A and B are shown apart, each in its own frame.
Chain A
Amino acid sequence: MYYSLINNPVKKEYVGLENYRKIMHNTAFRKAAENTAFFSAVSVPLVIILSLGLAMLLEKKIPGRSIFRTFFLCPLMVPTASVVLVWQVLFHSHGTVNQVAEMFGGEPIDWLKSTKGQLVIILMFLWKNTGYSMILFMAALSGIPRDMIEVAELEGAGAWYQFVHIKLRYLSPTILFVLILSLINSFKIFREVYLLTGNYPYDKLYMLQHFMNNTFNKLDYQKLSAAAVLFAAVMIVIMAVLLLLENIFGKDVES
Chain B
Amino acid sequence: MRFRRNIRTVFVTVFVAIGAVLFLMPTVLTISNSFMASSEISANYGAMYSNMTNTEKTYIAEDVNLKFIPDKVTVDQYRAVLITSSDYLVKFWNSVRLTLPITLFQMLVAVLTSYGFARYPSKLKGIIFFAYIILMIMPYQVTLVPNYLVAKKFGLLNTRSAIILPAIFSPFSIFLLTKIMRRIPVSYVEAAKLDGAGELQILTRIYIPMCRNAIISIGMLVFIDYWNMVEQPLILMASDEAKALHPLSVFLSQINANDVGLAFAVGVVYMIPALLIFLYGEDYLVEGIVCSGGIKG
Q: How does the 8 Å CB contact mask read for A89-117 relative to B, with 1 for contact and 0 for none?
A: 11010111001000000000000000000
Q: How does the 8 Å CB contact mask read for B174-214 relative to A, with 1 for contact and 0 for none?
A: 00000000000000000000000000000000000000000
Contact at B253–A194, with CB atoms within 8 Å? Answer: yes
Count of chain B residues with a beta carbon within 8 Å of a chain A beta carbon = 73
Contact at A62–B26, with CB atoms within 8 Å? Answer: no
Residue among A54, A79, A195, A239 with the highest chain B CB neighbour number at 10 A: A79
Stretch binding the partner chain, chosen from A12-20, A147-155, A160-168, A208-216: A208-216
A63 to B13, CA, bound (A): 7
Q: A80 — which chain B residues lie within 8 A by C-beta? A: 228, 249
Chain A contacts with B in 48-72, Cβ cutoff 8 A:
54, 57-58, 60-64, 67-72
Contact at B271–A79, with CB atoms within 8 Å? Answer: yes
A20 to B152, CA, bound (A): 26
A245 proximal to B (CB < 8 A): no
* Residue on B nearest A180 in the bound complex, by CB: B137
Q: How far is the CB of B29 from chain A (nearest CB, A)?
A: 5
Stretch binding the partner chain, chosen from B15-23, B74-82, B109-117: B15-23
* Residue on A nearest B27 in the bound complex, by CB: A78
* Residue on B nearest A137 in the bound complex, by CB: B293
A119 proximal to B (CB < 8 A): no
Q: How far is the CB of B247 from chain A (nearest CB, A)?
A: 9
Contact at B249–A81, with CB atoms within 8 Å? Answer: yes
Name the one of A88, A198, A231 contacting B139, with C-beta atoms under 8 angstroms: A231
B264 proximal to A (CB < 8 A): yes
How many A-B Cβ pairs are below 8 Å? Answer: 214
Chain A contacts with B in 102-143, Cβ cutoff 8 A:
127, 130-132, 135-136, 139-140, 143
Name the one of A87, A184, A195, A212 contacting B144, with C-beta atoms under 8 angstroms: A212
A124 to B231, CA, bound (A): 18
A224 to B134, CA, bound (A): 19
Residue among B24, B26, B264, B267 with the highest chain A CB neighbour number at 10 A: B26
Q: How far is the CB of B189 from chain A (nearest CB, A)?
A: 26
Contact at B144–A77, with CB atoms within 8 Å? Answer: no
A131 to B148, CA, bound (A): 34
B87 proximal to A (CB < 8 A): no
* Residue on A nearest B134 in the bound complex, by CB: A236
Query: How many interface residues does chain A have, given as a range?
Result: 35 or more
Contact at B139–A62, with CB atoms within 8 Å? Answer: no
Contact at A75–B23, with CB atoms within 8 Å? Answer: yes
Q: Chain B binding site: helix, strand, loop or mixed by DSSP?
A: helix
A92 to B256, CA, bound (A): 14
A46 proximal to B (CB < 8 A): no
Chain B contacts with A in 135-150, Cβ cutoff 8 A:
136-145, 148
Contact at A81–B253, with CB atoms within 8 Å? Answer: yes
A231 to B138, CA, bound (A): 8
Q: B29 — which chain A residues lie within 8 A by C-beta? A: 83, 86
Q: B285 — which chain A residues lie within 8 A by C-beta? A: 73
Name the one of B13, B30, B250, B290 contacting A135, with C-beta atoms under 8 angstroms: B290
Q: A71 — which chain B residues lie within 8 A by C-beta? A: 20-21, 23-24
A73 to B286, CA, bound (A): 9
Contact at A94–B293, with CB atoms within 8 Å? Answer: no
A173 to B141, CA, bound (A): 29
- Besides A75-B23, A221-B145, A239-B133, 10 more A-B contacts (Cβ < 8 Å) are A57-B12, A76-B278, A79-B228, A85-B260, A86-B25, A136-B289, A195-B253, A216-B144, A224-B144, A231-B139
- A and B contact pairs by CB, cutoff 8 A, 22 listed: A57-B16, A77-B224, A79-B270, A81-B230, A81-B267, A82-B268, A84-B267, A88-B48, A89-B48, A94-B48, A95-B64, A95-B66, A132-B289, A135-B286, A184-B137, A188-B140, A190-B139, A195-B230, A209-B231, A217-B238, A231-B138, A239-B134
Point out residues on B near A: beta carbons under 8 Å. 9, 12-13, 15-17, 19-21, 23-27, 29-30, 33, 45, 47-48, 62-64, 66, 133-134, 136-145, 148, 220, 224, 227-231, 234-235, 238, 248-250, 252-253, 256, 260, 263-264, 267-268, 270-271, 274-275, 277-278, 282, 285-286, 289-290, 292-294, 296
Point out residues on A near B: beta carbons under 8 Å. 3, 54, 57-58, 60-64, 67-90, 92, 94-96, 99, 127, 130-132, 135-136, 139-140, 143, 173-174, 177-178, 180, 183-184, 187-188, 190-191, 194-195, 198, 208-209, 212-213, 216-217, 221, 224-225, 228, 231-232, 235-236, 239, 246
